[in-house]
Amino acid sequence: MKIAPFIYGARPKTLTASIAPVLAGSACAWGVISSNIHCNIGGRVSREVLQYACLNNSASFDLIRSCFFHIVVLCLISAVGLQIFANYANDYWDGVYGRDSKRVEPMSVTGKPVRMVASGKVSPRAMLCASIIAACVACVAGLIAVIISRQYWLLIVGVSALLSAWLYSSGNQPYSKYGLGEIVAAIFFGPVAMLGTQYLIVQYLNTSNVMYVHNIMLFSNTFSGDWFMQASYGINIVSLFISVCIACNAVLLMMINNLRDIDDDLQNGKVTLVGHLGKPKSITVFLVVVITEMLLSLCVLLFLLSVMLSTDAFRQAVVFLVWMAQILMLGLIIRNIRNNNYEYAFNLVSMHNVLSIVYIVVALVG
């Protein structure tokens, strides 16, 4: 059995949609660990104080860093595995039900990516098996992360994500047919993936034995009035804004795909959100999503420059330049959408996701 069709069927260009929220959530979690550490009397302490306390209790700050990266890797495997499962399931169901009947020729001919089952490069049975394997990998990694963080209620979130990936295109009545694909993608590839990662990391470290030295806590498990600076349940409003920006990126990816495929989808009875709205209104919605992301990212930038990076001129400059590159890239995406150059616009959104990761990591991790 050839591996190449399965690699192509995983749609590597789309995987930034699952990588970006996990890495962004990890960076925000590290920001909480570094900047919002509270001791039992409610005072804020520095990273150096935490390190000193850990060393005095025979626990190294390196151990905290090691625990941090372990949970990040687990979240990353789970998120990417879940997206690959969704891509394989989509290829399987659309191939079986003939919704990809025009996706059998090379991209150089149709201008659209070839689908593996529809083109006969992969049998339906093999694609179904591949999707089950991807789902199992995602579930095992996610389950380990939940167990070691002791946040068992997140199993409900994981099952919901798994079902949403499967039901997106399954059977004769997939929910994508009712224009719900973009909404579900925004939820699961935005706040759920990013804030879920951040919550898991800080809860894991907050409840681990390493963090109990000198009664030091990463954050308070109550809602704080100073939500901008303090992390309630490990999450603050800046994290929420960033998660919405990443959700916008996921919506943009899906809308570009659906704008490109609108004619074929309508002929095959697949009415996505773009199909319900029509092309002109869909482009208007696309612009609204882009503008929303620009405004929220500006709010995040102003907060980072004025508060978190106020004493670091070099990082301020780097963060500002990366943010400017993101804004310019969003402008290029709009231009290409207006010119019906969907493939180039799709590549730009994927690159924009990468820039988002760089931006957040530089700002919050350094």
* The dihedral formed by the CA atoms of 277, 278, 281 and 282, expressed in degrees to the nearest 10: 80
Asked if residues 333 and 290 have their Cβ atoms less than 8 Å apart, the reply is yes
Least confident of 34-48, 78-92, 189-203, 347-361: 34-48
3-state SS track over 277-300 = HCHHHHHHHHHHHHHHHHHHHHHH
Q: Please compute Rg for the chain using Cα positions.
A: 22
> How many CB atoms neighbour CB 132 within 10 A?
13
Segment 126-136, tens digit of pLDDT: 999 999 999 99
C-alpha 106/C-alpha 84 separation (Å) is 22
pLDDT band, very low/low/confident/very high, at 35 (cuts 50, 70, 90): low
Question: In this predicted model, what pLDDT tens digit does every residue of 194-221 receive, in sequence order?
Answer: 999 988 888 887 665 444 433 444 444 4
Least confident of 67-76, 222-231, 302-311, 317-326: 222-231
The helix (run of H) or strand (run of E) holding residue 44 is: strand 44-45
Q: Evaluate if residue 116 carries a pLDDT over 70.
A: yes
Identify the residue whose tokens are 């999450």. Answer: 235
Model confidence at 109, in pLDDT bands (50, 70, 90)?
Answer: low
What tens digit of pLDDT does each residue of 68-108 get?
788 899 999 999 999 999 999 999 998 888 877 777 777 65
| Token couple for 295 | 């405004």
pTM: predicted TM-score of the whole model, two decimal places: 0.85
